[in-house]
Amino acid sequence: MSRSAHPAGPRHADVLTEGHYTAPPADLNVLDEKVWARTVSRNDDGAVTVGGIEVTRLAEEFGTPAYFLDESDFRARCRAWADAFGPGADVFYAGKAFLSRAVVRWLKEEGLNLDVCSGGELTTALDAGMPAERIAFHGNNKTAAEIERAVQAGVGRIVLDSFQEIVRVSHIAQRLGKRQRVQIRVTVGVEAHTHEFIATAHEDQKFGIALAGGQAAEAVRRALTLDGLELIGIHSHIGSQIFDMAGFEVSARRVVQLLAEVRDEHGVELPEIDLGGGLGIAYTSDDDPREPHEIAKALGDIVTRECEAAGLATPRISVEPGRAIVGPTAFTLYEVGTIKHLEGLRTYVSVDGGMSDNIRTALYDAEYSVALVSRRSDAEPMLVRVVGKHCESGDIVVKDAFLPSDLAPGDLIAVPATGAYCRSMASNYNHALRPPVVAVRDGEARVILRRETEEDLLRLDVG
Ligand code: LLP
């Protein structure tokens, strides 16, 4: 098995053997609830509905391609995370997975905090009324202007990512006459994948400050001595699409060791630790993600145990799930265009979107599922590759999947679990118009991010 690092985990890297694709499911009409948003089902006429609305109606009203986001599922997942961690911990939704002003309002109403990692995300959060103290500001290269805006706005924490940034934030806070709450992001030497993790002695990556070689301890010393900073804790984030808690265990142990060192050296017990995000979701029926309460219990137990062993009071824990909240709540709806049967090779099903609305397959070799959603079909399954309309052969949406063999141009197909890192990583490649995000809830659908238009393209092109 390959152990090559990959931001999206091994299912997305090169650890699966060729031909792992096995038999078709018994009934292609069945929607696996693991990969579909909670209010998605197939009605008696055979069409798929979300929030009680048929996808055929949604396609007529909003066009394709489009992302449909199940708002009640999103809110339920927020509540599940908040309840699982309880009032003694903090859940920060990672806005990079998908952010819009409507999303910010839902987070605010459901009691979550928000992690932003750019000036744009910060602006969206503040504009939609997220209280600044509930915002964490991340990034390995925040500009001075971004830091200034964050400090000025009064964000709850800035996660310091380098020695230079410790000084930068300190100077800016002092200039503004403020004392900024900060955490230090450390790299703990854990590289976590879906079902495995690797503990290493050093980290070759652009994020954070290494625990190795006493660097993180030195960063803490500096942050404690510089004016304008209130060091509230240590942050670590170990990877993406993780199902196995063992990587978090090693990470938490190493972070707690640092807290103990800090206490011994400075007589200070830092009150918080943040264990980052990265919790996995089901993209296909093969994936078995954990529920938030299991994750909360596992993380809580690890930290409590390690702190007891080190004679420390248990710090307040925070986590930053992005994918695990928004990922499963949305699907992308496409209309089938050309279908090409290459004899003895493969069947290509082309849709009206592609790598511009889902770059993850091309970028990470990510796996997705797909279903015919505009009607029921009892035709034989056929193995297909779903591709987009871009001028590039790597423009693949779903590498290998079964669809009914009577699939025809004009049918609607949907790719589930596209809520995270699809719209947020969408591009205008080939002057594609980025699709809208439509929130659906209790029989009502409303656009929360509109479709781009050709006028939008021309407006940016100043001639
Ligand atoms: N916190 C920090 C500091 C992070 O860097 C990230 C993700 C998260 C939280 C949220 O991770 P999540 O729970 O969403 O996995 N574009 C890639 C994922 C990159 C993740 C980067 N950081 C993908 O499409 O898989």
CATH classification at residue 27:
2.40.37.10
214 is in an annotated binding site: no
For residue 245, give the DSSP letter: T
The CATH code of the domain that includes 145 is 3.20.20.10
pLDDT at 3: 32
Which residues on neighbouring strands pair with residue 336, listed in sequence order? Answer: 351
> What's the gap in Å between 389 CA and the centre of ligand 1?
28
Residue 2 lies in a domain: no
Residue 11 lies in a domain: no
Residues 158 and 49 in one domain: no
C-alpha closest to that of 353 among 299, 422, 306, 262: 422
Residues 57 and 97 in one domain: no
Residues 252 and 138 in one domain: yes
Q: Which residues does the chain have with pLDDT short of 70?
A: 1-22, 200-202
Residues 113 and 184 in one domain: yes
What is the position in ligand 1's atom list of the atom closest to the CA of 241?
A: 15
323 is in an annotated binding site: yes
pLDDT at 201: 58
**CA-CA-CA-CA torsion sign (417, 423, 426, 432):** positive
Report the nearest-CA residue for atom 24 of ligand 1. Answer: 421
The helix (run of H) or strand (run of E) holding residue 62 is: helix 55-62
Return the SS3 of 274. strand
Pairing outcome for strands 209-210 and 180-187: parallel
Residues 282 and 341 in one domain: no
> What's the gap in Å between 345 CA and the centre of ligand 1?
36
Give me the domain span that covers residue 360: 16-70+328-460
Among 279, 294, 324, where does a domain finish?
Answer: 324
What is the position in ligand 1's atom list of the atom closest to the CA of 366?
A: 25
Residue 279 lies in a domain: yes
Cβ neighbour number for residue 47 with a 10 Å cutoff:
17
Among 324, 355, 389, where does a domain finish?
Answer: 324
Residue 4 lies in a domain: no
364 is in an annotated binding site: yes
> What's the gap in Å between 458 CA and the centre of ligand 1?
32
Name every residue whose Cβ is closer than 8 Å to that of residue 451 and which is 6 or more positions away in sequence: 62, 63, 66, 433, 434, 435, 436
pLDDT at 84: 98
Residue 10 lies in a domain: no
What is the position in ligand 1's atom list of the atom closest to the CA of 425?
A: 16
pLDDT at 202: 65
Global pTM reads 0.95
Residue 35 lies in a domain: yes
278 is in an annotated binding site: yes
Residues 302 and 263 in one domain: yes
> What's the gap in Å between 8 CA and the centre of ligand 1?
9
pLDDT at 196: 76
Residues 128 and 109 in one domain: yes
pLDDT at 21: 58
> What's the gap in Å between 52 CA and the centre of ligand 1?
31
pLDDT at 12: 41
Return the SS3 of 187. strand
Name every residue whose Cβ is closer than 8 Å to that of residue 211 and which is 6 or more positions away in sequence: 186, 187, 188, 189, 254, 258
Report the nearest-CA residue for atom 6 of ligand 1. Answer: 277
Residues 47 and 110 in one domain: no
- DSSP string for 316-366: EEEE--SHHHHGGGEEEEEEEEEEEEETTTEEEEEES--TTT--HHHHH--
What is the position in ligand 1's atom list of the atom closest to the CA of 324?
A: 13
Residues 47 and 177 in one domain: no
Residues 244 and 387 in one domain: no
Q: What is the pLDDT of residues 227-273, one digit of tens each?
A: 999 999 999 999 999 999 999 999 999 999 999 999 999 999 999 99
24 is in an annotated binding site: no
Which tokens in the block code for residue 239?
């990877």
Residues 280 and 422 in one domain: no
Pocket of ligand 1 (CB under 6 A): 7-8, 94, 96-97, 115, 138, 237, 240, 276-279, 320-324, 360, 364, 420-421
What is the number of structural domains in the chain?
2
Residues noted as catalytic: 391
pLDDT at 162: 98
Among 272, 305, 324, where does a domain finish?
Answer: 324
Residues 352 and 422 in one domain: yes
- Where helices occur in 139-209 by DSSP H, the ranges are 144-153, 163-175
Residue 135 lies in a domain: yes
